[in-house]
Structure 1
Amino acid sequence: MIRAVPSRRNSIADDLRRQITAGDLKPGERLPSEAQLAAHYTVSTPTLRNALALLQGEGLLEKIHGSGNFVRHPRRRTTYTGGRPSAWTTPSVPLRSTVHARHLRAHGPLTTLLNVAPGTSLTEVLCITHEDRTPHSLSRIYIPRHLMPANLLAPADIATHLTELRPPLAEVRETARSRLPTHEEANTLRISASLAVLSITRVAIDTTGRVVEAALLIYPGDRADALFITQYPTEEKTPRS
């Protein structure tokens, strides 16, 4: 029987994984430089980086450009509950948020997503949540500008505003899928390009068929769950006489 010989990449990843699991490498600790690690394991720098990429994809290491590779602290998991406009997550411990808004003209996929003509004035709200100093999730919320009051930025306040619109809301459509992050998303969230993200596209529609909000939500797969509950009506049985 011929046994497969582990690749140097996998052997290095196994050794570092063992050290992290055993506590020899502690959360927040910076690893030696890539050059030092490559020399220690007697491999080329590309092979060493491939090994580190495996652990980054597993969420065990975090690479901070200009600083090095660090053992990651365990991330709090959040649960996306959905089913309403501007729904956020329900973390076990509150996360800090940074919010920025800008005005732009609808173009490309946004015209289809919001069912508006090219050039329609929109408000984009960018929200990034943080756990301590580490980015935790990313969302971009788009609302037709004439429906967006000035200085209304917090996702919870936006949700309240949308439920008070007239005509009232009729439905919220949500599409969830797992995919690899874009280069911009990986940089913003400081995650490996090989770590899958949970991508949710949410569209809120009023009773006239008008789209009043579209949101693009990105959660790294190692710290997010999605919960969807379907409730069925129950019929009360009439007792037999």
Structure 2
Amino acid sequence: MTGEETSTGSKVPKWEGIAEILRVWILDDQYKPGQALESEAAIAKEFSVSRPTVRQAIQKLIGEGLLTVAHGRGTFVRPVPDRTTLAIGSPSPEDLISPGFDIEASEWERVPPPVGWNLPAEDLDPIQGLVHRPGREEAKLLRITMRDLIVTRFTHMRLRRSQDMIVVTSNIPLTVLHDEESGPFSPEEVIDRGGIYAELARKHGPVRFTTSVVARMPGADDDEVFGLVPGTPMLSIRRFMLDSHGQILELVEVDAPADRFDAQPETASDLGKAVLRL
């Protein structure tokens, strides 16, 4: 596709050139968060282009999450929310999904999954867990096969002060929790014995933790669960519990909107600002 010459002198489609100029102005704070963009007609006149060309450029920036539309009011630079710190590398990580985790003493509250969220079973208690076969990605991360069984637990947690949501998921290979000769696996019995972490430490201790952080594009359910603006990436924090031989005992994944949360190594200077430690 041959490009048309823009005011920058480069051979690109006019709408792409205008989108790039507006993007730079927004990122350089020439437009402030919450500020209204000029009308399509004014921008078209400034760049000597048609209004449909301007509209195409604006739609591109809306898709990137830089602009937002208030119907009947105009187009605005999207305000950047304050990011909340999730600390990684805690010397004593907690089981965030356990009934023993004191959610009331934290800055969080547990909330039910959104209506229509795809639960594996209608009567599932997500904190006790579901025994099932892993998907391809889960099996790869846990270093097991898709024929093996895992225990999946999860919880939706909402930060009280901002109402921002995270989802915490725990996947544990069933074999590290349960000996088949002991009979069917009972989450209730494990909880009664002090919880899953106590059980893993008793069977496989000493245990250690490693944490990684990856960015990803939103999945099919993420827009509804997290209330994302189009173009917002997701932050996935992965915390592995390992035994002394490097066998993976548990994988905890924390999914959070990257425009509202960041992940920082826990240091003495960070202790006061982190709302969660992993």
Other structure's SS at 1:109 match: helix
C-alpha displacement of 1:108: 1.6
C-alpha displacement of 1:105: 0.8
- Matched with 1:31 is none
C-alpha displacement of 1:76: 5.5
Could you tell me how far apart the structure 2 residues matched to 1:164 and 1:39 are?
66
User: Which residue of the other structure, out of 95, 103, 109, is the alignment partner of 1:96?
Assistant: 109
Query: Match of 2:229, as an amino acid?
Result: S
Q: Deviations over 1:24-59 (max 9, x none)?
A: 8xxxxxxxxxxxx979988556554334334x35xx
Does the CA-based 8 Å contact 2:204-2:243 persist in structure 1? yes
* Structure 2: segments with no counterpart, 5+ residues: 1-5, 10-16, 45-50, 71-75, 97-105, 113-125, 178-184, 269-278
Corresponding position: 1:141 with 2:198 = no
C-alpha displacement of 1:221: 1.9
Counterparts of 1:107-186 in structure 2 under 5 Å? 107-131=135-159, 134-145=163-174, 147=177, 150=187, 160-161=197-198, 164-186=201-223
Other structure's SS at 1:112 match: helix
- Matched with 2:243 is 206
Corresponding position: 1:81 with 2:91 = no
CA change 1:46–1:209 in 2 (3 A) is same
Taking structure 2 as the reference length, the TM-score comes to: 0.52
Corresponding position: 1:225 with 2:239 = no
CA change 1:215–1:19 in 2 (3 A) is closer
Does the CA-based 8 Å contact 1:138-1:189 persist in structure 2? no
Query: Match of 2:34, as an amino acid?
Result: I
Does the CA-based 8 Å contact 1:10-1:51 persist in structure 2? no
Does the CA-based 8 Å contact 2:18-2:57 persist in structure 1? no
Does the CA-based 8 Å contact 1:167-1:208 persist in structure 2? no
- Matched with 1:34 is none
User: Which residue of the other structure, out of 50, 68, 73, is the alignment partner of 2:60?
Assistant: 50
Does the CA-based 8 Å contact 2:83-2:262 persist in structure 1? no
Does the CA-based 8 Å contact 2:215-2:236 persist in structure 1? yes
Corresponding position: 1:197 with 2:222 = no
CA change 1:9–1:175 in 2 (3 A) is closer
Could you tell me how far apart the structure 2 residues matched to 1:114 and 1:46 are?
44
Taking structure 1 as the reference length, the TM-score comes to: 0.58
CA change 1:172–1:131 in 2 (3 A) is closer
C-alpha displacement of 1:10: 6.3
Other structure's SS at 1:7 match: helix
Range that drifts further, 122-131 or 45-54 = 45-54
Does the CA-based 8 Å contact 2:170-2:252 persist in structure 1? yes
Question: Aligned residue pairs: how many?
Answer: 202
Give % identity: 15
C-alpha displacement of 1:138: 2.3
Does the CA-based 8 Å contact 2:236-2:256 persist in structure 1? yes
Range that drifts further, 188-197 or 127-136 = 127-136
Other structure's SS at 2:141 match: helix
Q: Deviations over 1:57-99 (max 9, x none)?
A: 5xx8599xxxxx9x779456132223455566xxxx7122236
* Structure 1: segments with no counterpart, 5+ residues: 25-36, 64-68, 232-241
Does the CA-based 8 Å contact 2:200-2:249 persist in structure 1? no
